[in-house]
Structure 1
């Protein structure tokens, strides 16, 4: 990469979030008293949110700067709390999610949980809700549904802990289709299922070569996700293993070392030839360039932001995890669904919550004018699959 270009972009320029090659689609309880809210002031270990990030949350969530700071602090607490609360729930664990209105983590436990178990979960500071089905049962039902062949009228399915069911999304107007009906019937045999309607089917689509800060594989343009030691991670549909990659200036960056799509949608690219990696996500002038300090997984309900070379920086909410998305090329598993918009050329780009890497953009539906939903492949899965180490600040 030319040094003059680096001076122009600053540190984040090396993370050139390219352009999305795959955007698409879709698209009775026991309550306890709320825990006292902790101060939203960042501790010495918690760097303050940048003014740009707070401005993006004001724009996309309708929050004041103080409300955005409070939400980010509450989400950090919920993220840190979730593993402890799950261990406390044990076999009675029914899932967990961040309740944005209450500003706290909610943990579901089954009705057969012992009083001692409920007390242990509440002692962590989480709100407790009683549900019928355990997370283990719901996950097992989803796994059985994953073995079915889904027709095009079914856009995907995921476990929804708040609904305590497996949600099967059917494209509007396709409910009467015989193949869809058969799929739904077989899905209901697998376990507790709720059918919902989505506006359109998921799809991936490549972007032609246009200006910006992309990387290119042939005539396909995609976005860099996160720097790892030795390269970066991105979406699998952007290129196959062995394919060469060039940067924004068409100079050679490196090569796809591993790639998987469908079934998964992830890949990693080695870098060389004067290119190097830094722990930064590009803010595109909308927000300050964001340092990456880790990859702690944000809970359902938490805010998340996306960076991509076509539509730049947008924020939304984590809607679901471990969703199977039924693209026309085949099903992709273990995806996270968000309310963030994206468009063609944003594929592979970064999803980040605060300063914690979350995943790489896969696909979705809609656009950033009228809105939509986007899925990402979780970054920790990619790191584990290829034995990579995230480059952090």
Structure 2
């Protein structure tokens, strides 16, 4: 705890709150560039701890995921209208691309030439997205946790709280969802919740009596979760000095916001490693594929890693549904809301909510960073 607090205060002073940068002796060691070592010792340790990998396996996986991330847009273009989705296969270390059964030999050959593996599916990504869009128009009861397109399953997966599976409203929703398109039902142990505490890369901030975590620096401010504050609300930093105000905020429907930075504070392209890993430089926002490893930084549980489980999910919080979310196996707890999800040195999104905790294990969702940047016309601050 003391180590984490020391790291927080050091970076808070250097990154956002002071009027002078820390001396060279006090500054944290800069993260290695992507072209340097595969990853820091701390990052490899976190992946070994949270993903059950050896050091060699973690290094190999990071290299394979980087290659898969570069292949994905090429394979998507090659598949065209036959594209059924894609995911990273940790077993083979390759990107798997789904193509519909009607794809021509030329299309299949073009996809294979990108280096991706191929799986034949019944429904295209466009068809599955259309089915999900129809389900998004339905009113969901509290017993329905979330729903998303799963290209590997070839359907829209609807997650239902186990204890409420037999509820009449849940059954009615499932019947209407199945009428909208191919649906698979899965069980979840509990309903999702947001991770705002009673008081947002990983550093805390406060608005009123709520504490959240900073997501990523943008030019002029930072992005975070929408449920942490409404437009116009004032924001103070880790030291309780004034930073700025929420300039835009959306929740539910979405869960994103941005805060302007002033009053002697400034932004830097850094995500806190909390002493587990060196603080990470942010160099872009290339989207990691499903199946890739991903890590999260937040002001409560600090640094944790897992994998991307699914994209374009709709999460049904008690306050209302939130769309276009990405699900992960990374844990989080109250106060982590708004914090950073990063894959290598690429920003992925900001923490929204989830279930479970970092003691017994859990799952979380994040709002993708590129959607937030596009919505508010912001530019990510990169190194």
Q: Residue 198 of structure 1 aligns with which residue?
A: 188
- Partner Cα distance (2:188, 2:377) in 1: 36
- Partner Cα distance (1:11, 1:248) in 2: 7
- Partner Cα distance (2:336, 2:352) in 1: 9
TM-score with structure 2 setting the length: 0.91
| 2:351 pairs with 1:350 | no
Give the conservation status (yes or no) of the 8 Å contact 2:231–2:245: yes
- Partner Cα distance (1:368, 1:250) in 2: 27
Which structure 2 residues correspond to residues 264-303 of structure 1 after superposition, within 5 A?
264-303=254-293
Q: Residue 14 of structure 1 aligns with which residue?
A: 15
- Partner Cα distance (1:46, 1:183) in 2: 51
Give the conservation status (yes or no) of the 8 Å contact 1:89–1:117: yes
Distance change >3 Å, CA 292–CA 213, structure 1 → 2 = closer
Q: Residue 84 of structure 1 aligns with which residue?
A: 74
- Partner Cα distance (2:170, 2:338) in 1: 30
Which structure 2 residues correspond to residues 179-190 of structure 1 after superposition, within 5 A?
179-190=169-180
1:44 Cα deviation after fit: 7.9
Give the conservation status (yes or no) of the 8 Å contact 1:53–1:287: yes
TM-score with structure 1 setting the length: 0.89
SS of residue matched to 1:72: helix
Q: How many residues align?
A: 362
Give the conservation status (yes or no) of the 8 Å contact 1:15–1:226: no
Tell me the alpha carbon deviations over residues 246-288 of structure 1, each in whole angstroms, 9 at most, x when there is no partner: 0111100111100000000000000011110000000000111
Which structure 2 residues correspond to residues 195-344 of structure 1 after superposition, within 5 A?
195-209=185-199, 213-344=203-334
| 2:361 pairs with 1:371 | yes
1:138 Cα deviation after fit: 0.4
Q: Which is bigger in relative contact order (C-alpha 8 A, separation at least 6)?
A: 1
Where does structure 1 differ by over 2 angstroms across 4 or more consecutive aligned residues? 5-8, 10-16, 42-48
Which structure 2 residues correspond to residues 48-127 of structure 1 after superposition, within 5 A?
48-127=38-117
**Structure 2 unaligned residues grouped into runs of 5+:** 1-5, 18-31
CA RMSD of aligned residues (A): 1.9
- Partner Cα distance (1:153, 1:49) in 2: 41
Pick aligned residue for 1:150 from 140, 144, 157 = 140
| 2:381 pairs with 1:391 | yes
Give the conservation status (yes or no) of the 8 Å contact 2:7–2:275: no
Q: Residue 23 of structure 1 aligns with which residue?
A: none
Give the conservation status (yes or no) of the 8 Å contact 1:15–1:282: no
Q: Residue 25 of structure 1 aligns with which residue?
A: none
- Partner Cα distance (1:75, 1:265) in 2: 27
